[in-house]
Amino acid sequence: MVEVAYAESRFKAPEIPHRYGSRVHLLDDPLAWSLLARACSPETGQPDVGRLVRTLYEMLARVVLAAELPRARVDVPTRMVSSHPEAVYRGLALSRATKAVTVGIARAGTMPSQVVYDLMNEVLDPAMVRQDHLFMSRQTNEHGEVIGATWHDAKIGRDVEDRYVLFPDPMGATGSSIVSAVNYYQTALVGRPARCIALHLIVTPEYLRRVQTDHPELTVYALRLDRGLSAERVLRTEPGTHWDEERGLNERHYIVPGAGGVGEILNNAWV
C-alpha cells in the first residue's frame, strides 16, 4: 500500500524575509549563524576554522539538495522484510538518476566542493556525479579594486547536458568569480545545465545585484547577508528595500563584517 504521509514533499528552505527576488535564498538558521560567527572571528584559526567551514557546508548542502534536486518515488525493503512482507518504505526520495556537478573554485571553494561531492555520492548514483576544478584569482586595478577574475587552469568534464551544476564558494563578494564560472558552464561545454546553483556562507548586496544582472537564472543560497557599510536607517529595513543604498564591500572589495580572506585562512597561505 502507498503511505500517503510521504507521497509528496513540501520541503522549503527556512528563509529570512528579503526583497532580492525568488531565486535568492537567505537561510534562517540560528545554529549556522552561531557557527559562522565563530568561523569569522579573528581568534579562530586552523584546525578550528577548517572544521567549522566543513560543518557549515554540510548543513548548507543538505538544505540545497533537499530543496533543489528532483525527487522520485521509491520502494525500499527494510531489514524487517524477512518477517513482515509489508516492511517496505514507500515514498519520496531524491532521484538517484539526477546528473550533477560540483565545481571547486580554488582556493576557498576546494574543501566546500569536496563536502558537496561526498554528500551527492551518498544520495545519487555516483556514476552521475562529477567534481570539476577551477583555478582563478581576483583581477585588481592599481587601487586594489576587483575588476574581474583571472583563470589560471581548469580540470573540467565536457558534458553538462541536463546536469545540476553547483558552485560552493564561501564568499559572494563582487560576483566576478561566479559570473565567470557560470558563463563558461553555460556557453563553452557540451549541452546546457538543468540548473546552476551557488552555495555561499556570506553574500553582499553588491554580489546579488551583479549575479542577477548577468545571470538572472542563477539560484543563490547563503547563510548570511553582510551589508555592514550601509547607513543605519538602511540597516533598519528589510534587506533589499533600499538595495541601491546597501553596501557590504569596502574600497578593496572585501566583505564587511565578512571573514577576511577565507582562502588564505583555510590554507594558512597568505599569498
CA distance 135 to 260: 20
Q: Omega into 42 within 30° of 0, i.e. cis?
A: no
156 in any annotated domain: yes
Could you tell me the pTM of the whole model? Answer: 0.92
CA distance 64 to 23: 12
Q: How confident is the model at residue 41 (pLDDT cuts 50, 70, 90)?
A: very high
- Grid coordinates representing 200 are 555561499
The H or E element spanning position 208 is helix 205-214
Q: What residues form DSSP beta bridges with 100?
A: 129, 164
pLDDT in tens, 48-96: 999 999 999 999 999 999 999 999 999 999 999 999 999 999 999 999 9
- Using DSSP's 3-state secondary structure scheme, residue 190 falls into strand
255 in any annotated domain: yes
81 in any annotated domain: no
- Using DSSP's 3-state secondary structure scheme, residue 185 falls into helix
Contact between 164 and 98 under an 8 Å Cβ cutoff? The reply is yes
Contact between 182 and 175 under an 8 Å Cβ cutoff? The reply is no
Cα angle 129, 153, 271; round to 5: 110
4 in any annotated domain: no
Number of domains in the chain: 1
pLDDT in tens, 212-240: 999 999 999 999 999 999 999 999 999 99
- What CATH number should be reported for the domain holding residue 180? 3.40.50.2020
CA distances to 103, 113, 140, 142, 143 from 146, rounded to whole Å, are: 22, 24, 4, 10, 9
pLDDT in tens, 121-130: 999 999 999 9
Q: Which domain holds residue 152?
A: 11-71+92-267
CA nearest to 205, candidates 261, 147, 255, 170: 255
180 in any annotated domain: yes
83 in any annotated domain: no
CA nearest to 33, candidates 224, 169, 172, 222: 224
Contact between 174 and 214 under an 8 Å Cβ cutoff? The reply is no
155 in any annotated domain: yes
CA distance 202 to 27: 11
pLDDT in tens, 177-187: 999 999 999 99
CA distance 261 to 42: 11
Q: How confident is the model at residue 151 (pLDDT cuts 50, 70, 90)?
A: low
84 in any annotated domain: no
CA distance 28 to 228: 18
CA distance 14 to 99: 26
